[in-house]
Amino acid sequence: MDEVSPTQPGNFKDEWGPMDDVRPVFSTGVGINEETIQAISRAKHEPQWMLDLRLQAYQIYQSMPMPSFGPDLSEIDLNEIKYFQRATDHIARNWEDVPDEIKTTFERIGVPEAERKYLAGSAAQYESEAVYHNLKQDLESQGIIFMDTDSALKQHPELVRQYFGKLIAASDNKFAALNTAVWSGGTFLYVPKNVHADVPIQSYFRINAGRTGQFERTLIIVDEGGSVNYVEGCTAPNYAEDSLHAAVVEVFVKKDAYCRYTTIQNWSTNVYSLETKRAQAEANSTMEWVDGNLGSKVTMKYPSIYLTGAGATGSMLSIAAAGANMHQDTGAKMIHLAPNTHSTIVSKAICHNGGRADYRGLIKYTKAAKRAKSHVECDTILMDQDSASDTFPVNDIETSDGTIEHEAHVSKISEAQLYYLKSRGLDEATASQLIIMGFLEPFTKQLPMEYAVELDRLIKFQMEGSIG
């Protein structure tokens, strides 16, 4: 974490589905120490270098303070978290081989259906580890590697070792250190030179039990001239105890390559989502973050792009919806390290029922970033007097010939727009919903159709009772 499904709606709890009656086949229990980490590594049959890396990270984790900025994290008791839970004893390549109780959960949120309709590949993680992954043969035959990171460590150890932790060191922040110590699951995706995987490849992450820690470790490498469209979804049921999702994501976009990384998080309000996501874009490459945050008790997430090659382009398009008992602290970092680099950040937020959504971002031009350009937009709609939003932009400019644009708006729903729509026969609730969806259109139009429809449904459901 850097500084700076279709269920039938009955009540808000139902939106995340019920807690599943699934007992883990293996668990390290509550709490963390060196024995916990050794048990995780031993259960995974890892090489010694990974265990050594984990133990070093654990020492760093113990020595680092909690973040000194952003939301209040004082209610997290890291000693009461279950750090590793294995839901099944194998990873299925055939959907029919997934245990019935787990399969029902993912079918309820549409994972296998989406795969059959339009996905090039699909994976599902339940608690700490993957339970399913599959990639269409035509992409597999072109050399694309798509699997959980645990499997990649076994099958492609040299490739994992080459890139693991190279963008995000354990010393980056406390939760990056914790992730490195206890990581499990996540996505490993490698696209060879000049290979294009433009049909979306999807991973889905589910936390089921309370007091659970999920520490996905995702590693994506898009080689020269390649392209990929990766989508991940996250959800958890509503329970009485808080859980923690502390992911680390590293993305390498080589020369002339393209990567789009889309995230739709629909966590319940019992989840702390504290993530560190970073990408490196080489010469004439493009890296795009598309980030949707629709739930959680607290989210702290600031995906960054290091534009290391001349002509590299980076963009972030995000939405955050914060309702009762939600604090969304999100943003982006664009680090320009080469000439003629370009970046764009568009952040949209909706706050209702006393929710809070803050933007925290950084634009940095080094001396080498000649003729760099950047544009930042932050727009927030406050639905009531109890909701709040702040913007914390930082511009660090070391070159004299770069250009940067920044604009921020905080407003209520336009009375003029509302009056116009009501004059056409719409009631206030319907008119307000239309205005909100129009406000979010720059985000939703970037999603595959199935995701755009589902996002529309989720937002309308979350907003029920707050408008009209």
Q: Which residues contact 110 (CB under 8 A, 6 or more apart)?
A: 5, 6, 450, 454
pLDDT value, residue 13: 37
Alpha carbon distance 373, 339 (integer Å): 10
173 with 91: CB under 8 angstroms?
no
Is beta strand 313-322 parallel, antiparallel or unpaired with respect to 342-351? parallel
Nearest-CA neighbor of 390 among 71, 3, 169, 61? Answer: 71
pLDDT (tens digit, 9 = 90+) per residue, 140-168?
A: 899 999 999 999 999 999 999 999 999 99
Spell out the residues 6+ positions from residue 135 whose beta carbon is closer than 8 angstroms to its own.
Answer: 120, 121, 144, 146, 147, 201
Q: Is the pLDDT of residue 40 over 90?
A: yes
Residues present in the chain in total: 468
CA dist 52 → 38, 41, 58, 63, 184 (Å): 10, 10, 10, 17, 15
Give the CB-side neighbour count of residue 69, counting CA atoms within 13 A: 15
Q: Which of 459, 423, 463, 98 lies closest to 292, judged by CA? A: 459
d(CA 85, CA 82): 7
pTM over 0.75: yes
Query: Which of 441, 434, 424 minimizes the C-alpha distance to 463?
Result: 434
What is the 3-class SS of 284-298, one letter each residue? CCEEEEEEEECCCCE
> What pLDDT digit, counting tens, does each position of 348-368 carry?
999 999 999 999 999 999 999
9: confidence class by pLDDT, cuts 50, 70, 90: very low
Rounded to an integer, the average pLDDT of 163-183 is: 98
> What is the reported pLDDT for 199?
82
What are the pLDDT digits (tens) for 187-208? 999 999 999 997 888 888 777 7
Question: What number is the average pLDDT over the span 53-70?
Answer: 97
* Alpha-carbon distance values, 92 to 96, 131, 132, 133, 435 (Å): 8, 6, 5, 7, 43
Place 6 in a pLDDT band, splitting at 50, 70 and 90.
Answer: very low
Give the mean pLDDT of the chain. 86
Return d(Cα 221, Cα 210) in angstroms, integer. 33
Q: Are strands 258-266 and 227-235 parallel, antiparallel or unpaired?
A: parallel
pLDDT at 55: 98
**Residue 7 confidence (pLDDT):** 30
Residue 453 confidence (pLDDT): 67
Residue 165: predicted pLDDT? 98
Percent of the chain with pLDDT over 90: 59
